[in-house]
Amino acid sequence: WIEEDAKVLVQGITGKQGMFHADKMVEYGTQIVGGCTPGKGGQTVELQGKQFPVWHSMTEAITATDADATVIYVPPPFAAEAIMEAAD
């Protein structure tokens, strides 16, 4: 559980699983503030009819949003790196 007003980033938001789960999160009221996918910064994704920004790195995303939490939807070989980037 997280606080009701937590600002959440989605790592891997442009991928199939990231898009699916982020869409459900928005549907259920989670305050998604954007996402991070290396190489896709500057794009936006549409979730529940709203546009959300995508950044290249978590550093950029956190600086821009002051996010409180992140969820990670990346392929297993990249999970450890995504966790470390979020922790930094």
Q: DSSP labels for 34-81?
A: EEE-TT-TT-EEEETTEEEEEESSHHHHHHHH--SEEEE---HHHHHH
- The number of folded domains in the chain is 1
Say what the pLDDT of residue 37 is.
96
Residue 23 in any domain: the answer is yes
Indicate whether 75 belongs to any domain: yes
In a domain, 1, yes or no: no
The angle that helices 76-87 and 58-65 make with each other, rounded to 10 degrees, is: 50
Structural domain boundaries enclosing 48 = 7-87
49 found inside a domain? yes
pLDDT value, residue 23: 98
* 21 within some domain: yes
**Residue 64: CATH number of its domain:** 3.40.50.720
Reported as a single tens digit per residue, the pLDDT across 15-68 is 999 999 999 999 999 999 999 999 999 999 999 999 999 999 999 999 999 999
